[in-house]
Amino acid sequence: MPELLEMSATFRRLLVIAALAAAAVAPVPAFAQKVAAVVNGDPITEFDVEQRTKLTQITNQRSPARKEVLEELIDEKLKVHLLKRYNIEGIDGEVQNAFNNMARRAQLTPQQLTDQLGRAGVMTGTLKSRIKAEITWSQIIRGRYQSSFQFSEKDIIAKIESSNPDAKTQVAYDYTLRPILFVVPRNSPDSARDARRKEAEAFRARFQGCEEGIRMARGLPHVAVRSPTTKSSADLPPALREILDKTELGRLTTPEATTQGIEVYALCRKEPSSAENTPEKRKVREELVSEQFQANSKRLMKELRSTAMIEYR
């Protein structure tokens, strides 16, 4: 299912460039109140079109045609109008949470993201309006067409065989892990972190089994042994699956730097997952849901447009 306006890895850089290019936010132009279209009595102004164009330029790195932007805004109005029919509660809180998550992924605070958008000439409300429309739409589509998102094992196997016949032989595993953290105090110099990494590497060489190894880890100074956690390979990114596949049972993964120090994982158990819980089946199930979501979206939007009063100015 489509995600809500994901921030790309370069979004922060693009915002900064756009902000530098705009020495100051220009005052709202005189044509701001000029109406571009009216949707069920709700106007879309030329200023709305300008704002959405700027947002698209920043987030998608392209300059959309005016007609494309206007049609997107019309669809957005129709989506938001549905909110009044279905009485979805807590929508504003969800919008703010989504905005905060976008800021976090861009390594910014919500206020910093607001400031960056402002310097680029984009009002925060422009972005939040788009988020609100997408959250509303997603919830309504899932609720209205809930049964259409249920896929049988036969559906999944058929899609796998049509696209990748060898994928059905893949085996998924459930891994039981014990995270072990070599603590590095905040604001420590790089030399301290390097020293802890060497300690972790040395301990990794001595670690020969979970029972005895965990006992040894608990006896080390400034080392935290966390509770067991079970992860399915179907839920893990390919890079992490590869690491665990190459780690012998009862041994440690290679040390990784975290905000709290240097961490390793003891692989204490590895068992085949249930037959339906393989990475390929999970991926195919998500693809089927996404395809069905798009089909349902087009269907409902066509219905809404057929009954809406849309006037172009």
State how far the Cα of 143 lies from the Cα of 137, in Å rounded to an integer: 10
Torsion of the alpha carbons at 14, 16, 20 and 26, rounded to the nearest 10: 80
pLDDT (0 to 100) of residue 171: 65
Q: Which of the 8 DSSP states describes residue 130?
A: H
- 257, two tokens: 């730097």
Alpha-carbon distance 218 to 235, whole Å? 29
What is residue 245's DSSP assignment?
A: H
Query: What is the C-alpha R_g of the chain?
Result: 26
pTM of the predicted protein model: 0.54
pLDDT reported for residue 195: 94
- Angle at the Cα of 70 (from 33 to 28), degrees rounded to 5? 30
Which tokens belong to 241? 């699956």
Instruction: Note the pLDDT of residue 154.
Output: 76
C-alpha 61/C-alpha 111 separation (Å) is 23
**How many Cα atoms sit within 13 Å of 145 on the Cβ side?**
18
Domains of the chain: 11-148+298-312 (1.10.4030.10), 171-272 (3.10.50.40)
CA angle 308, 309, 313 (to 5 degrees): 135
145 phi, psi to nearest 5 deg:
-115, 35
Amino acid identity for residue 247 in this structure: T
Interior CA angle at 238 toward 237 and 243, to 5°? 100
Q: What is the pLDDT along the chain (313 residues), one digit of tens a residue?
A: 444 434 444 444 444 434 433 333 344 454 457 999 999 999 999 999 999 998 888 877 788 899 999 999 999 999 888 877 776 778 888 999 999 888 888 888 889 889 888 888 888 888 888 898 888 888 889 888 888 888 776 777 777 767 765 554 556 788 999 999 999 998 889 899 999 999 999 999 999 999 999 999 999 999 999 999 988 877 777 788 788 888 999 999 999 988 899 999 999 998 877 655 666 777 787 888 888 999 999 999 999 999 999 999 8
Angle of helix 279-307 relative to helix 153-163, nearest 10 degrees, comes to: 100
How far are the Cα atoms of 33, 38, 73, 118 from residue 50, in angstroms, in the given order? 12, 16, 11, 14
Say how many CA atoms lie within 13 Å of 141 toward its Cβ: 26
For residue 167, what pLDDT is reported? 52
Helix axis angle, 210-218 to 190-206, nearest 10°: 150
Beta strands in 18-145 (DSSP E): 35-39, 42-45
Give me the pLDDT at residue 56, please.
Answer: 87
- Token pair of 272 as six digits: 């085949």
Q: Which two tokens stand for residue 300?
A: 């409902």
Rounded to a whole number of angstroms, the distance between the first and last alpha carbons of the chain is: 34
